[in-house]
Chain A
Amino acid sequence: MSFKAVEKISKTVGGKIEPVGPAFLAHARRLVRNRTWSEQETIDAEEKARRAAGEVKEDDGLVDEDADEELLNHDPKDWKNADQYAALGLSNLRWKATPEQIVKAHRRQVLKYHPDKQAASGNSNDGFFKIIQKAFEVVSNPTTRRQWDSVDKKANVSVPKKHAHTDFYHKWTPVFESEARFSVKQPVPGLGTAESSKPEVDAFYSFWYAFDSWRSFEWLDEDVPDDSSNRDNKRYIEKKNKAARVKHKKEDNARLRKLVDTCLSEDPRILAFKEAEKKAKEQRKWEREASTREAAEKEKKAKEEAEKQALEAATAAASAKKNKEQAKNAKKKNKRAIRGTAKEFESLPSPDSAYAAADIDALIESLDDLQLGETAAKVAGLDAAALTALFTETLSSKGVNAKYFK
């Protein structure tokens, strides 16, 4: 026996492999972890051994439970009214039990309640075993299992009382989780939390209002008699069953709708959304009306301005009128005052004194009421020279051809 090395292997080539398949993943894993082939082999073997050991003890989610006295003594002929899940020892899992769990649970129950075993312990009643077998038949067939689930009252979560002092989400979430099992469409949107957004909440309610349920009520059917002698009776019962199913289904749909209605009416999020929407609406309205409001304000201001101006004008007019009136009243007095100044010129040689008097008269004629007042005020206390200057100026400004004051 000998080993003789002859030649080295030919040069390897660098290639590109495809990142596909379990073999590649194993290779990649080895590379990533930086292990040699033999290290990986040891690790894989260990893992395999561990998994094999683990599988034995794997948690199957089943709880050891003893059937209660009532169920043990249940009449096997009346198996339909027994709790099918309890018979299999699955009363904690119920509709959540997987097919594997059902098989396991059934095997366990059979071992425990087999008539041979029971007889050994002095119990000759094999009624419960019959119920177990029936229950397994029902639960392992998806169709009959759904029929049973539809009427499984113990899996239902009752609707919370309206004024129960618990958190809204805390009390409603289990209700919807339980109802969700009847949905044809999975996954079912959950109730969510207080932080859920409006689209999420809307999606939740629209889903539940359009709920597509597989729930059916064949389980509650009255047994159709098997005898062929009385076909009319058979048909009558069949018809009655059908009607009852429809009725139950209708009631169930109505129940669910009412349930969702109740939830909706209590939902604090909906209230909050409504409130927010109302506020947003007002805000929008306010914004929309901003321009018209501005225009109205402007108009109002303009109007006020105009009114004020009109008032001012009126006051001005009134005061002018008053002045005029006053002047009119003082006309005679003024005239007299001005005419009185002629005395100053009486001492002048004729015809100047007459001319002066005539000029003053002409001046009085040419002045209106107000000017009369002004002139009268000026002439008071003036001497002849000053008067001459005043009259000359006034007359020339009036364009009167004066004979003396020129």
Chain B
Amino acid sequence: MSTVIGLSFGNTTTSIAYTKEGVIEVIANADGDRDIPSMLAYAHEDEFHGIQAKQQMIRNAANTIGYFRDLVSAKFSEIDHTKTRRLSKPVETSDGAVGYEINGEIKHIDQIIERQFTRIHEAARDYIGKEIDGVVLALPSDFPEHKRAKLLSIAEKSGLKIVQVIGELESALLAHISRDNSRENKDQADKLFVVADFGGTRSDAAVISCNSGIFTVLSTLSDHSLGGRLLDESILTHLVKEFKELHKVDPSSDHRAIAKLLLEAETIRKTLSNSTSSQYGIDSVTQGLDFSGGINRLKYEITSRQVFTKFNAFIVSLLKKAEIDPFFIDEVLLVGGVSWTPKIASTVGAVFDERTVIVSPSTDSKAIPPNELVARGCAIQGSIISNLDLEEVDQVDRLTSAEQLSKTIGVVVGDKSIPVLGKYTLIPTKKTVEIEATADSLKIAEFEPKMEITIHKPEPKTEEEKKQAAEEDSDYDSEDDDEWEEKNLRFEAEKTLAEVAIPIKNTVKVTLYITSNKTLQVSVTSNGQTVQGSV
């Protein structure tokens, strides 16, 4: 069994994870960081990486390089300069790619990324104490093929063999459902997820259907400007304003002052994710003036309101693109360092119905740290494929086209409709359910999920099925305190596939098996009697 690590190489931070005897560990580098800033800084002969490079942002910004992952094999003329404006400015190399001028020498972006991989390689090897045989790397879904190939060849040069590249969002979801599986005894209920990765400088989200542990991506959306950096900037604006009021001095033109305040703003954001207030103190911001004070969570949320609205709008536009009503989303998984912020969870949660579970540290105490999800998912994938050889991985990696069910199939017993095989379930498949019921017969049918709205009034009103009505009602709702609305997910049988007559007492066991030639085999067992048939 080979040593395969999981690597999440982001524009802002990098994390490495490794599965050791079934336990996933997120690896700390020599500085003790698990969230390693993807930064490199050069001072004279020395090269700094991670948090040390980030600190160089204050004194040595011209030789500090960051946010470079997306710049691999990008044309200089096409890149966005706003992200790097407080760091070393990219310059054009002779072949039109991105480079950086360090100590009078032009460093090509490929060199920078190779150094990054080398440092990551060292950190992983030192921590694990074994040579790294392979890496599972996570990349965003919209990462172009030529950039991916370039990244792979650079990694290879630095001694890291990338065995598989998987999507960041899928990786995070894998880490999440693996947690559930180990905890709740392998109950792999079919669920519809929204996975949203809010990174430092970009955000990605997708609607993913998870059926028996297999993922189908229904829709994706990326925003290359939305990210935690915007929140830091809004705190920075607030700090600058406070500083001006206190000292009557404007630090905006002082580069070092802004860098110091920005690093402090990031610390404040992280602190406010866990506590309701944060104190700060910075020595000699500008002109030798010290600066200290405090900010509470409410103030932060008010100052950054506009940014939070953008996160909300991002999710709304994802759902619009996917043409899915938020009501049908079962779970929302928040990924990325910014997802620690409680306000993000509540803002995003506001888009969805009450039945939707929001997974983030502020809403679920058992949630995996969102900044580690991607790396953990990669580590899980790494441990899965560590037994395969490279050719097998490559072969397996291409088996992504599949036949799937177009409708949910389930059982109708009495007045109950129980979905068994969800939409997008891969065929062939087999699943057994046990249902508590007492009846003379049951039906196997295809379902259509419906939103059932019950308006509770002093005197109950009839059911309405269309969402349109619900929206119209919502105005009316708020006027009357006694009245409240309840939405329920109900599966309505659309097409009956088979009818089984069998006396059922207490429980019935139904096994549905769809073969690869699309026939449905049913086996129903109750009270020791079994009825079988196929459609």
Chain A residues at the B interface, C-beta cutoff of 8 Å: 1-25, 27-29, 31-32, 36-37, 41, 185-187
Contacts and interface: CB of A to CB of B under 8 A. Distances in A.
B428 A36 contact: yes
Contacts of A25: 384-385, 396
Given A9-B514, A12-B404, A14-B401, A20 B171 contact: yes
A150 to B, nearest CB: 18
A5 B129 contact: no
B395 interface: yes
A9 B520 contact: yes
A14 B403 contact: yes
A-B CB proximity, top 6 nearest: A23-B213, A3-B533, A186-B129, A18-B215, A28-B396, A5-B535
Given A5-B497, A12-B518, A19-B400, 13 more contacts: A5-B533, A6-B499, A7-B495, A12-B404, A15-B403, A16-B216, A19-B164, A21-B213, A23-B188, A24-B215, A25-B385, A27-B402, A31-B399
Contacts, number: 163
Contacts of B213: 21-24
A18 B403 contact: no
Contact of B497 (A2, A9, A19, A185): A9
A5 B214 contact: no
B167 interface: yes
Nearest to A26: B213
B397 A19 contact: yes
A124 B405 CA distance: 73
Contact of B400 (A2, A5, A12, A17): A17
A42 B284 CA distance: 72
A10 B535 contact: no
Given A20-B215, A37-B429, A12 B497 contact: no
Given A20-B171, A23-B214, A24-B214, A10 B399 contact: no
B497 A7 contact: yes
B451 interface: no
Contacts of A7: 495-497, 535
B500 A18 contact: no
Given A12-B406, A17-B216, A23-B212, A3 B532 contact: yes
Contacts of A13: 403-406
B531 A2 contact: yes
A27 B177 CA distance: 18
B450 interface: no
Nearest to B213: A23
Given A36-B515, A187-B129, A2 B401 contact: no
A187 B121 CA distance: 13
Nearest to A37: B428
Interface of B: 125-126, 129-131, 164, 166-167, 170-171, 174, 177-178, 188, 208, 212-217, 377, 380-381, 384-385, 392, 395-407, 409, 424, 426-430, 446, 495-503, 513-516, 518, 520, 522, 524, 529, 531-535
Contacts of A29: 396
B496 A21 contact: no
B171 A9 contact: no
B70 to A, nearest CB: 22
Contacts of B212: 23
B497 A17 contact: no
Given A8-B535, A12-B427, A20-B381, A187 B125 contact: yes
A13 B402 CA distance: 8
Given A3-B500, A3-B522, A31-B399, A15 B404 contact: yes
A147 to B, nearest CB: 20
B455 to A, nearest CB: 33
A37 B131 contact: no
B501 A2 contact: yes
A18 B217 contact: yes
B216 A15 contact: yes
Contacts of A36: 428, 515-516
Nearest to A99: B21
B157 to A, nearest CB: 16
A100 B424 CA distance: 43
A10 B447 CA distance: 11
B495 A10 contact: yes
